[in-house]
Amino acid sequence: MKLGFIGCGNMAQAMIAGVIKAKIVSEKEIIASDKHRPNLEKAGEQLGIKITDDNKEIASSSKILILSVKPVFYDEVIQEITSVIGEETVVVTIAPGKTLEEVERAFGKKVKIIRTMPNTPAMVGAGMTAMCANDQVSEKEIHKVKETLEGFGRVEMVSEYMMDAVVAVSGSAPAYVFMLIDALADGAVLKGMGRREARIFAAQTVMGSGKMVLETGLHPAELKDMVCSPGGTTIEAVRKLEAEGFRSGIIEAMAACAEKSQNMEKD
Ligand SMILES: NC(=O)C1=CN([C@@H]2O[C@H](COP(=O)(O)OP(=O)(O)OC[C@H]3O[C@@H](n4cnc5c(N)ncnc54)[C@H](OP(=O)(O)O)[C@@H]3O)[C@@H](O)[C@H]2O)C=CC1
Ligand SMILES: O=C(O)[C@@H]1CCC=N1
């Protein structure tokens, strides 16, 4: 098997859908397990991947093994698989707060580990993933895993200390962006637009704005200024957003998110 997933919930399914769609790995080369059997069967049917109840089977047969359970279950899963993990297997973690050192310690032996933080837009090939590796992983292996993860979006190598910031700015961030889209739709509904149409206008605008930042390379503030006609409608909205604490609300939310990531298991 090329890709194995222990835990097949929201994030694993988004990643699997992304790599299959991009034809990076075929469904026949992907295997997954999940404690929640109905969840697993549904994923197996919908994605066409192989499923199993046996985490050890996945650990011993996968070239790239993705630990896609909640952080609190990491130690339990690692203890279960450490004796059977293949020597050449690269373990990929996706949990906030789980450092390379902690994961190494849990395995109790030298294992190739790549720590990542993906996000759910992986499902539609538009994910953002950060990664860093321990000293057991070769450049070639890093390249291979990066190429696989690029199947579902953009991937950047980061220093490990950046990971909590990454959780705040991309791992968790789709949730706040979805809240923004929903709020934009609410505002349009308030003014009489139908809900479905409002959602499309809102989502297309968020997508287009992100694309402009990425493709023009211009500072977001400059792009904002281009929308604000003097004495116009937009600057009225900007004035109100500033008064309502839009920016500080987001920054404070992200600070809380990063802090939670850093202290994930200490709370
Ligand atoms: N959702 C997201 O947007 C993102 C999530 N992540 C990380 O991805 C990981 C998974 O998150 P997410 O997909 O949201 O969580 P989910 O709860 O949707 O999926 C995790 C699944 O793993 C199952 N599971 C628990 N223990 C075991 C076990 N011992 N063996 C096999 N399966 C098991 C769970 O079953 P049960 O429910 O019965 O416990 C559950 O179905 C987490 O570490 C999370 O922090 C990272 C980036 C983004
Ligand atoms: O909410 C969480 O803990 C996970 C990690 C990043 C996104 N979801």
Which sequence spans correspond to the domains of the chain? 3-159, 173-262
Residue owning the nearest CA to atom 7 of ligand 2: 172
Per the annotation, does 55 bind a ligand?
A: yes
> Considering the domain 173-262 in this protein, what is its CATH number?
1.10.3730.10
In short, whether 68's Cβ falls inside 6 Å of ligand 2 is: no
d(CA 32, CA 215): 36
Q: How far is the CA of 100 from the centre of ligand 1 (A)?
A: 19
69-73: list long-range contacts, CB under 8 Å, 24+ apart.
Answer: 69/6, 69/7, 69/95, 70/7, 70/95, 71/95, 71/96, 71/97, 71/98, 71/264, 71/265, 72/265, 73/7
**Mean confidence (pLDDT) of the chain:** 96
In short, whether 68's Cβ falls inside 6 Å of ligand 1 is: yes
Residue 186: which pLDDT band, with cuts at 50, 70 and 90? very high
In short, whether 91's Cβ falls inside 6 Å of ligand 1 is: no
Residue owning the nearest CA to atom 3 of ligand 2: 96
Residue 196: which pLDDT band, with cuts at 50, 70 and 90? very high
Atom of ligand 2 nearest to the CA of 71: 3
Per the annotation, does 11 bind a ligand?
A: yes
Q: How far is the CA of 248 from the centre of ligand 2 (A)?
A: 21
Averaged pLDDT for residues 178-192: 98
Residue 81: per-residue pLDDT? 98
Contacts of 247 (CB under 8 A, 6+ apart): 241
For the chain, how many helices (H) and strands (E)? Answer: 12, 8
Residue 199: per-residue pLDDT? 98
Averaged pLDDT for residues 156-178: 98
Tell me the two tokens of residue 190.
């308030």
> Considering the domain 3-159 in this protein, what is its CATH number?
3.40.50.720
In short, whether 172's Cβ falls inside 6 Å of ligand 2 is: yes
| DSSP states of 72-86 | GGHHHHHHHHTTT--
In short, whether 34's Cβ falls inside 6 Å of ligand 1 is: yes
Residue 168: per-residue pLDDT? 98
The pTM of the full predicted model, rounded to 2 decimals, is 0.96
In short, whether 36's Cβ falls inside 6 Å of ligand 1 is: yes
Atom of ligand 1 nearest to the CA of 40: 41
Per the annotation, does 10 bind a ligand?
A: yes
Sheet holding 153-157, edge to edge: 50-52, 30-33, 3-6, 64-67, 90-93, 112-117, 127-133, 153-157
ipTM above 0.95 for this complex: yes
Residue owning the nearest CA to atom 5 of ligand 1: 11
Per the annotation, does 210 bind a ligand?
A: no
Helices 195-216 and 173-190, packing angle to 10 deg: 130
Query: Is the pLDDT score of 266 beyond 70?
Result: no
